[in-house]
Homo-oligomer: A and B are copies of this chain.
Amino acid sequence: MNQQLRMTKQRAAVAGALDATDEFRSAQQLHELLRDRGDAVGLATVYRTLQALAAGGEVDVLRTDDGEALYRRCARTEHHHHLVCRSCGHAVEIDGPTVESWAVRVGASQGFSDIEHTIELWGTCADCRAAAAHSG
């Protein structure tokens, strides 16, 4: 299969960093994280690795309001959505069977085909809310 993909120290490091958290992280955050941890990896390599993982469906990608890409290794490969904490990136995988069918139905009723949808929920997780309460 992917005889083409060599398992290098760098790829392992990036994958490891992703495995170590269930929060969405930007490429730059992962890059810093690896550097601080001692597993320095070039920024370009981090981007390339994330790209490859995303293409293979091994990590999920989403965009913040200002267009930055965030990555996360999810437990499941099947289609799902996320509830993400806007302050710490903590995420919960969620299903929305109802939403799925709604999307397809609405799309079709308007004559559109090849319907896809972008559905992400943003909020403040319990921990962050508590933290905010203490400091405020």
**Which A residues are closer than 8 A to B by beta carbons?**
63, 65, 67-69, 83, 85, 92, 94, 96, 98-99, 102-103, 106-107, 110-126, 129
Contacts and interface: CB of A to CB of B under 8 A. Distances in A.
A113 B102 contact: no
Given A67-B69, A96-B102, A103-B121, 9 more contacts: A67-B67, A85-B112, A98-B98, A99-B99, A107-B123, A110-B125, A112-B124, A114-B123, A117-B119
B120 A117 contact: yes
Nearest to A62: B118
Contacts of A117: 119-122
Nearest to A119: B119
